[in-house]
Amino acid sequence: MYSIIDLGGHQYKVAAGSKISVDTVNAKPDEVVTFDRVLLCDDNGVVSVGRPLVPGAAVKARVLSHGRHDKITVFKKHRRKDYRKKVGHRQPYTQILITEIVLGDKKEVYEAKPRKVPTEKPAEKAPVAAMEAKTEKKAVKKEKKG
């Protein structure tokens, strides 16, 4: 199931579990926000197109973080007029994780998979023995010289 939502004058194609960067959303990290401006919803081939919005459809998302994109440089110049202007700009954004898509009585929920916890491997004795052998050889060489 996927949806196309209208957010801040832009349209985004979203599915449960997708991470997207959008224009700044007025919410704190780990806060859940709901977007009800759904333009289209596809439920395994059954497409619902809104006129202009799909009734009863909503998308819930969790705010992951806020940030700013890479800097772009704007340089303006008028030749022979002694006019130069250099300005940098960084566009703010909010990264969100789509957690749920609701279409009337149907709903698709994203469940995060638990992370694999690395298990400690038993210490290998072969490298330690090799290191000890190297140090013994160095000690033997020093004794011969002296």
Query: What is the secondary structure of 71-91 as a DSSP string?
Result: -EEEEEEETTTTEEEEEEE--
Per-residue pLDDT tens listing for the chain (146 residues): 899 999 999 999 999 999 999 999 999 999 999 999 999 999 888 999 999 999 999 999 999 999 999 999 999 999 999 999 999 999 999 999 999 999 988 888 888 778 787 777 665 555 666 666 666 666 555 565 55
CA distances from 8 to 25, 35, 82 (A): 9, 11, 39
Please, what is the end-to-end C-alpha distance for the chain in angstroms?
A: 79
Total-model pTM: 0.71
CA distance 76 to 94: 29
**Cβ contacts of 133 within 8 Å, gap of 6 or more:** none
Whether residue 25 is contained in a domain is answered as yes
Whether residue 80 is contained in a domain is answered as no
Whether residue 34 is contained in a domain is answered as yes
Range of the domain at 24: 2-65+93-112
| Domain total of the chain | 1
Neighbours of 24 (CB within 10 A): 13
Whether residue 105 is contained in a domain is answered as yes
Whether residue 8 is contained in a domain is answered as yes
